[in-house]
Structure 1
Amino acid sequence: MDGTVLIADDDRTIRTVLTQALTRAGCRVHATGSLTQLSKWVEEGRGDLVITDVMMPDGNGIDRIPAIREARPDLPVIVISAQNTIVTAIRANEAEAFEYLPKPFDLPDLMSKANQALSRRPRKSDPMPDPIPGPRETADPEMPLIGHAPAMQSLFRMIARVLNADLPVLIAGEPGVGKSTIARSFHDLSDRRGSGLAILTSADAGEDAVMRASEKARGGTIVIENPAGFDPAAQARLIGLIEAMESGPDRAQAPRIVATTGADPHADVASGRLRSDLYYRLAGVTVSVPPLRARVDDILPLASHLLARAAGQGLPERSLGDDAASLLRVHAFPGNVRELENLLRRLALTASGATITASEMREALNQQTVPRAAPLPVSHAAPASAEPGPGVVASVFSTAAGSLSDNVEAHLQRYFDLHGDSLPPPGLYDRILREIERPLLQVALDATGGNQLRCADLLGINRNTLRKKLTDLNIEVTRRRKLM
């Protein structure tokens, strides 16, 4: 490795480690704890590579990149930072830093990037780059998109690279990992943030709603939540909308499509839940969000962030005791970041002091996991002809994720949350009932072998009423015999 490297970091240890490593590799090194000194060296024409921290006593390293590029367009800059947020990654990418590496960085990785930068320095005859956009002032500091783990840093770099690309984005991941937050970030942090944002869910995917979303998001972004949950007619409408936007006279102002899906969208296509032609229209770029268990080192920084956010929203200020933090770190978190946030908000309300104790954490974690309802003993089971009592019905509709009512409430609350400060489109009552009614009728028909008379009797409704509902909901009925 050959060249002169300029290092700017206020941490003396990091300056020493990098100086020793680069010197052993054959480089000449100038190190400082001041951006002012770094700028002076750059203006004097020193250095073939800059390695700079972001938060420095006399300024921000990313903010200095435009001046460095104006003075020395051929000088590559590697950004290192302990500010491990998506905004940092995006700003470093926008400033056209050669590379962005989060702290604590892997030294061999940084040395490899430095070698690449020194080897690929642009020729003096290369054209001047385009002007650097200014720093983002509209980034939402409350977005819990922080992460030290390599999986999250890889995600941040991917988002930064495609943030303003004219391609649809499919965000895949388990429930609760933050897909909706990331989907909104594709709008809020992009060049489209000055235009409209519309959100489509299966509960409001009618023809009128799709057209309203297209008009609202003109030049902006449409977020489609879980398209595999849309009925076939709604999926066909989405395909028509995308085709019209791609080929219509207004395509210059067409909104960008960002969709969220489960962890395995290919399984949805294989099962028929998601039309393959819709999938390929949505998956211009696929971004996979890792579950919380794949980034254990992020749990405690996330916890501190979420507790601070809760305090900013009016809840008591809390911090984690060491023993409580240890318990939190080993929890499996099947509900991912959403589960973590719910847990911490509850502790912010119920903890007895400013510091959350291990016993309080243990009790909250025990309450977090709702036990699966045990089956009724055979000797106490009600006869088949008897009307089940309220206790039996409650136990049937209880699951590991809570009661049916709790789950419906959680989904409805999330639906409202997706619309931010706005309300969902009018007609919500009928849309929600329609969403619940369809699977109920389909399951009941399946249980009765497609016999509409038996199905109506099971549901406790008139047969003509059932027929009308089946027609209105476009549910196909197939009569079949049960095999003995």
Structure 2
Amino acid sequence: MTISTSENKNILEAILAGNSSQARHLKIQVERVSSSRNPTLIFGEPGAGKLPIARLIHGKLGTGGKFIPYLVSEQNEEDLEKLLRRHATKGAKTKAGLNTLYIDDVADFSLSEQKRLAAFLKGLEGRRSQPKVITATSRDLNSLVKYNAFSRELYWLLNVQNLSLPNLQHRRGDIPLIIRRFMRQEYAPVRPPEISEKAMNALVRYGWPGNLREMRNVVTRLKVLGKRRRITGNNIAAVLANPLTTETGMARGQNLSSSIYRNLEKYFKAHDQRLPPDGLYNRILKEVERPLISLTLNATRGNQLKAAQLLGLNRNTLRKKLKNLDIDAKDLKT
């Protein structure tokens, strides 16, 4: 989805806001990957702000070149071919400096697109003048490689440097600051209404599956409710009860099974008419286990005893799973 310059700036400010360990680490990562022109892979769930962060990295390079986004959902294979050919032959040298190529949703590339991009990156090796290539994904490319759904060669060509955008559910301490920043942006030039303690607690507890994009939309809906001096818990309940605010792609009345079915259908299609490797059943269960446990701990505010009861697991079994899945329950407390 294309976003305006002002929206890009607003989301970027929200991404970098806060003093949590996740926010500080993100700033360090940005500085690190901006120090060279090596390919950079950005991982972040939908709505986490991958495009604004890519623009920030480009700006910090200081080359004065163009930032050229290639959005898989809006462009086609022919557009990709033209883009890569132009930069392969001209060395991406412009009057202003060196360009940055940003490719979103790289996990959705067809096998032929993956081969083209891999060939392009190999052709850049050893060249003094080359574009900065930034790719982004919301999917686990390492797992896709393991299951032969993504090119192993391309994965290593892209993953010279990497950066992970934290989810809002892992930055609960930053949520009040981010909410207030979005409120100031949305209500400008007038002063935004106050947010009651109950309302803010509801916002902090919410899971934010759509991350920053969803949060920005929720703030917009609060403004649509009309002029008011104070945002109450009831106001928050009204906007969070709207099925469109979750941005999970699952409308009200649609069960979880159908949502999972659609995602598994995409997984099979990603193999281009080939069958996935054997052992699919156990692999899928393992992929579901981590987010299930993380979300349950979020819902119980890091209380492992309550989480174990909710999951129907022995507490010691939950502890073993947390260790095996490398989930830190402390990070999930509010």
Same fold (TM over 0.5): yes
Cα distance change, pair 230–182 in 1 and its aligned pair in 2 (3 A): same
SS at match of 2:61: coil
Q: 1:165 to 1:477 in 2, by over 3 A?
A: closer
In structure 2, relative to structure 1, the CA distance for the partners of 1:191 and 1:164 (3 Å cut) is farther
Instruction: Give 1:237 shift.
Output: 0.8
Superposed displacement of residue 282, structure 1: 0.5
Equivalent in 165, 176, 185 of residue 56 of structure 2 = 185
Match for residue 254 of structure 1 among 126, 130, 152: 130
Question: Is 2:122 aligned against 1:243?
Answer: yes
Amino acid at match of 1:189: K
Deviation at 1:268, TM superposition (A): 1.8
Where do 5+ consecutive residues of structure 1 fail to align? 1-138, 376-395, 405-437, 444-474, 479-484
1:327 to 195, 198, 202: 202
What are the equivalent positions in structure 2 for 1:374-385 lying under 5 Å apart? none
Considering only aligned residues, what root-mean-square deviation do their CA atoms show, in Å?
3.4
Q: Contact between 1:372 and 1:399, CA under 8 Å: does it hold in 2?
A: no
Any conservation in 1 of the 2:39–2:132 contact (CA below 8 Å)? yes
CA separation in 2, counterparts of 1:184 and 1:214? 22
Map of 2:163 onto structure 1: 287
Matches within 5 A, 1:81-480: 140=9, 143=12, 144-145=14-15, 146-192=17-63, 194-203=64-73, 204-212=75-83, 215=86, 218=93, 219-247=98-126, 251-262=127-138, 264-312=140-188, 317-367=192-242, 368-369=245-246, 370-373=251-254
User: Which residue type is aligned with residue 294 of structure 1?
Assistant: H
Give aligned pairs, total: 248
Inter-partner Cα distance in structure 1 for 2:116 and 2:62: 27
Aligned partners of 2:84 and 2:120 also within 8 Å:
no
CA separation of 1:320 and 1:266: change in aligned 2, threshold 3 A: same
Greater fraction helix: 2
1:176-232: CA deviation from partner (whole Å, max 9, x where unpaired): 22222212211123213x211111233424244343366476412111112110000
Q: Partner letter of residue 232 of structure 2?
A: T
Structure 1 CA distance, aligned partners of 2:111 and 2:139?
21
Contact 2:43/2:164 (<8 A) preserved: yes
CA distance in 2 between counterparts of 1:320 and 1:188 reads: 35
Letter in 2 for 1:186: I
3-state secondary structure, aligned to 2:136: strand
Secondary structure class of the residue paired with 2:241: helix
Report the secondary structure of 1:241's partner residue.
helix
Shift of the alpha carbon at 1:372?
4.3
Q: Which amino acid aligns with 1:256?
A: K
Q: Deviations over 1:330-363 (max 9, x none)?
A: 1111222222111111112224414322211111
Higher relative contact order (CA 8 A, sep 6+): 2
Is the contact made by 1:176 and 1:337 (CA closer than 8 Å) also made in structure 2? yes
For structure 2, the residue ranges without an aligned partner over 5 or more in a row are 1-7, 276-334
